[in-house]
Structure formats: C-alpha cells, structure tokens
Amino acid sequence: MTILTDRYVWAAARTVPEHQRTELDRELRERIGDATDAQVEAGLAPAEAERAALTELGDPAAVAAQYIDRPLQLIGPKYYLTWLRLLKLLLAIVLPCAAVGVAIAQAIAGENVGGIFGAVIAVVISAGVHVAFWTTLVFAILERTPAPAGRRGVDMPWTLDMLPALPEPAKASRLAEFITSVVFLVVFAVVLVLQQFGLPWVDDLQSVPLLAPDLWSFWLPYFIALIGAEILFAVGLYLWGWNWWLAGANLVLNVAFTVPALWLFLTGQLINPAALEAMRWPWGDAGQIIVAIVVVVVVAASAWDVVDGAIKAFRAQRTIESATSDRGIREDLRSAR
Amino acid sequence: MNPDETTVAHLQELRRGTVVLACLVRLRTPDYGYALLESLNGLGILVDANTLYPLLRRLEKQGLLTSEWNTDEARPRKFYRTSPTGDALAVALMTDWRRIDDALGGLTTGDES
C-alpha cells in the first residue's frame, strides 16, 4: 500500500461515521489492491496501475456516500414536489405581505417615493432569500432523516382535490364576474354623483359633499367617464376572456384612474375642505398614518390588478395554444384515418 | 442522445436485475469481490466494478448475502456467501426469468407467423 492509496482511503473514510470506518477502510484496500494487481498483470508499472485503479474508483466522497446510503442530492424525488409547492405558497403569501407592510411603515415614516421603493425591493429580496433558504434547509434535513421503520416519513400524498381549476373559465361562468364588476362600477358612479348632497350614513357629513365641489369642472366628470370605460372593458372581458389587448387596456385604465386620484388626494384637492372641517381632520398624529396607508393600499391594489390581468392573459394564451395544438393533432389523426 | 447511447442505456437496464440473480447463484460457493467480478465477466455476464461492489454491500444489508473476512493471506478479503433467504430469492427470480423468456419467445414466434 502506498501513500496515494492511504490518502484515498482516508478521504473516503473520514466522511462516514466512526463505527463504519474500519470496515470501509478494509473493503476499499481489498478492492484497490485487487484492481491494482489486475492492472499490473495487464502490463502496467505498479505506480501507474495504482493510479489507474484509483481513478476508476472515482471520487472518494461519492464512494463513501454510496457505502452508507447517504443521499447525493439536496432534496430527492420523495420530497421535491412537496418542497416546491410549499415554497411557491410561502413566497406568494409572505412577499406581498412584506412589501405592503414595509411600504406602509416607510410612508408613515415620511420617506419619499424612491426611498419607499428601495426599502420594498430590499425587503422583498431578503424575505425571499430567507423563505427559500429556511424551507430548503428543513427539507434537506428531512431528506437525511431516516423514516421510522415501515413509514414513509413526512409525506403529503397527492389527492384528486389538489387538481388545479381550469385556467380559463367558460363564457357562462364569466357571466358572474361580469355582473359583479358592472354592479360595482354602477354603484361607484352613483356614489360619486350623489356624494355632492352629503353622505347620509356618516353623521358629520349628512349635508356636506365629501369631494371638493371644484372638481365638477373637470375631474369628477373625468372619473365618471373612466367608469364608463371600465364598464366597456368589463363587456370586452366577458365577450373575449383575458388576452394581451385587454391586459394592456387594464393597465391604461388603472394608471388613468390611480395617478390623478392620488395626485389630487396628496395635493389636498380631492377632499372637500368643509368635509375635512366637519370631520375635525387631522385626527392628531393619526392623520399622516391614515394618508400613508390609503396611498400604499391604493397603489398596491391597482398594481396587483394589473399583474393579475397580465397573469390571466398569459394563462389564457397558453390554454388557447395547447387547445389549438390538440385540435391540430386530432385533425391529423382524423385525416390519417 | 444518439441511437448508440440509447441502446447502451436500455441494455444496462435490462441487465441490472440479472446481475443480482447471477451473484446470488454464483455465491452459493463463497467468493470475494474481485474473483466474482472476473468469473461473471468470464461467463459473459458483463458487470462493472463500480456496480458490483456496491451491489454486494446492498445485498448483504438486505440479508441476502452473508460475509466473512478471510485474513489467511497477506491481503484480507471479504468473502460473500448466499444466505438461505438469498437462495429462496434466487429460485423465485430464476423462475420468473424463465417465464419471461418463454413469454418473449412466444411473442417472437407470434410475430414471425
């Protein structure tokens, strides 16, 4: 036995538990010795023969891992799908919550828009890394924990209930969505018009308009026209389902609504000064916090609406592509017959 | 993957179980790893050292082989022997092997007629 063999055996044996080391050591020496002898018989010099035998044996860490049945993957097929589903779910829940929470906190602290964006991006990245790392770590440990005899370990068997819903509902089931959005939009428009006579359900505002009456010269008609456009959009959505044109229109409508509304709100032109007085605004320190929360929630809601539209358009497009290729295959089959 | 690689992969898959069967039958007389490797390859049951040694350990862990260190010579060697359980498994595997052979034979004859 030479230094090279000793180094190889040590490299393999040091990674296995103490009580298995002697056995692995002996087995490897037997195997290396026999393989070297065979190479010498085939005509190689002893030193070369040993090198050839060790090279054929391969990475000592892999040999040792095989010896003690240590998995050579971080997460194996038993846990991979569970890990993937859990990770997606956690990211989908944690990241939006973290983003909105941080945005509200920064807005209350009086950060400017750039500062808020910077903080949100930094927190979303670090939260994402944390969620991914700790989830993966738990599953990597599970992968290396032997299950009790006769059990499969922690396991989430797949059931029929886990089948996802079909991505694009048929036109009939889009009707419910259509009716909901039209009813909501009409109610919204009616409230916009009627608020000039006061809000009867708020004690302080029974005869005071909530929104500044000056806005009737341009902005309120503009918003009401926009609601009309939203109704047309809902009709288009009902007729054609989501596509990229409608997703684009959704983006335009959201920007056209959110940007002027926020601008008016933040510059103090939106709310009627008389109404503010009647409500005894600002309510101490709460004023700034409420403004910050309103702004963040409005921005997050319209950003989500735009993203949601894009996701639905993407899925619908994919469904159409697979449906047409299915149809293509079926027609091919028919013509072949 | 070119056709050759595909063929090699399928051949390996087909042979995998037969190596287990060959070991169980051959080790009814005790022998050590390298001698087994040589004799199997000599018989035309082609197997690689990196496959055979881990396989022997796995079969031992499953109780199908027993082992004993022989220290009579300068190089200590681990001698494996088929256990009674291993023998029973060998009989079952061999029966199935013959059944599959017959079935495939029937299939081929059916093709030709």
Residue to substitute from B77, B79, B80, interface A, most A β-carbons within 10 A: B77
> A246 with A316, same domain?
yes
> A302 with A189, same domain?
yes
Distance from CA of A62 to the nearest CA of B (A): 11
Higher pLDDT, A173 or A90: A90
Phi, psi (rounded to 5 degrees) for B80? -105, 150
Cross-chain Cβ contact B76/A26 below 8 Å: yes
pLDDT given for residue B113 in this prediction: 47
Average pLDDT over residues A209-227: 87
Domain membership of residue A38 (yes or no) is yes
Average pLDDT over residues A141-157: 69
> A114 with A44, same domain?
no
Q: Please tell me which of the candidates B33, B54, B57 has its beta carbon nearest to residue A34.
A: B33
Distance CA B85, CA B65 (A): 8
Q: Would you place residue A334 in the very low, low, confident or very high pLDDT band (cuts 50, 70, 90)?
A: low
Q: Please tell me which of the candidates B49, B54, B69 has its beta carbon nearest to residue A35.
A: B49
pLDDT given for residue A165 in this prediction: 73
Domain membership of residue A157 (yes or no) is no
Average pLDDT over residues A303-320: 84
Domain membership of residue A166 (yes or no) is no
Nearest CA in chain B to A30: B77
Cross-chain Cβ contact A34/B75 below 8 Å: yes
Per-residue exposure over B62-92, b if at least 16 CB sit within 10 Å of its own CB, e if not: eebbbbeeeeeeeeebbbbebbeebeebbee
Q: What ipTM score was computed for the predicted complex, to two decimals?
A: 0.82
Segments forming the whole domain that contains residue B29: 3-112
Residue to substitute from A34, A56, A72, interface B, most B β-carbons within 10 A: A34
Distance from CA of A63 to the nearest CA of B (A): 9
- Picking from A87, A112, A146, the residue at the C-terminal end of a domain is A146
Chain B hits for A24, CB-CB cut-off 8 Å, are: none
Distance CA A9, CA A7 (A): 6
> A205 with A302, same domain?
yes
> A190 with A321, same domain?
yes
> A294 with A321, same domain?
yes
> A135 with A239, same domain?
no
> A12 with A62, same domain?
yes
Q: Would you place residue A288 in the very low, low, confident or very high pLDDT band (cuts 50, 70, 90)?
A: confident
Instruction: Read off the CATH number of the domain in which B100 is found.
Output: 1.10.10.10
Number of domains forming the structure of chain A: 3
Query: Facing residues of B77 across strands?
Result: B70
Domain membership of residue A155 (yes or no) is no
pLDDT given for residue B14 in this prediction: 87
Within 13 Å and on the Cβ side, how many CA atoms surround A116?
Answer: 21
Domain membership of residue A175 (yes or no) is yes
Q: Quick: pLDDT tens for B38-75.
A: 999 999 888 888 889 989 998 999 999 999 888 888 88
> A209 with A293, same domain?
yes
Three-class SS string for chain A? CCHHHHHHHHHHHCCCCHHHHHHHHHHHHHHHHHHHHHHHHCCCCHHHHHHHHHHHHCCHHHHHHHHCCCCCCCCCHHHHHHHHHHHHHHHHHHHHHHHHHHHHHHHHCCCCHHHHHHHHHHHHHHHHHHHHHHHHHHHHHHHCCCCCCCCCCCCCCCCHHHCCCCCCCCHHHHHHHHHHHHHHHHHHHHHHHHHHHCCCCCHHHCCCCCECHHHHHCHHHHHHHHHHHHHHHHHHHHHHCCCHHHHHHHHHHHHHHHHHHHHHHHCCCCECHHHHHHCCCCCCCHHHHHHHHHHHHHHHHHHHHHHHHHHHHHHHHHHHHHHHHHHHHHHHHHHHC
Nearest CA in chain A to B33: A31
pLDDT given for residue B96 in this prediction: 94
Q: Quick: pLDDT tens for A17-37.
A: 888 888 888 899 999 998 998
Q: Name the 3-class secondary structure at B81.
A: strand
pLDDT given for residue A327 in this prediction: 60
Distance CA A36, CA A54 (A): 8
pLDDT given for residue B91 in this prediction: 94
Cross-chain Cβ contact A67/B78 below 8 Å: no
> A37 with A113, same domain?
no
Number of domains forming the structure of chain B: 1
> A229 with A295, same domain?
yes
Residue to substitute from A5, A24, A27, interface B, most B β-carbons within 10 A: A27
Q: Would you place residue A178 in the very low, low, confident or very high pLDDT band (cuts 50, 70, 90)?
A: confident
Q: Are A73 and A254 in contact (CB under 8 A)?
A: no
pLDDT given for residue A167 in this prediction: 57
| Percent of residues, chain A, with pLDDT higher than 70 | 88
**pTM (2 d.p.):** 0.62
* CA distance readout (Å), B26 to A125, B87, B90: 60, 10, 10
| Percent of residues, chain A, with pLDDT higher than 90 | 18
* CA distance readout (Å), B18 to A12, A245, B60: 29, 61, 17
Over 70: is that where the pLDDT of A149 sits? no
pLDDT given for residue A2 in this prediction: 78
pLDDT given for residue A22 in this prediction: 87
Over 60: is that where the pLDDT of B106 sits? yes
Cross-chain Cβ contact B50/A30 below 8 Å: no
Which ranges constitute the DSSP H helices of B27-73? 33-42, 49-61
Chain A hits for B54, CB-CB cut-off 8 Å, are: 66-67
Backbone φ/ψ region at A316: left (φ over 0), alpha (ψ -120 to 50), beta: alpha
Segments forming the whole domain that contains residue A239: 171-336
Q: Please enumerate in sequence order all residues whose Cβ is within 8 A of that of B2, keeping only pairs 6 or more positions apart, or say none.
A: none
> A132 with A237, same domain?
no
Average pLDDT over residues A248-276: 88
Higher pLDDT, A231 or A287: A231
- Picking from A16, A34, A67, the residue at the C-terminal end of a domain is A67
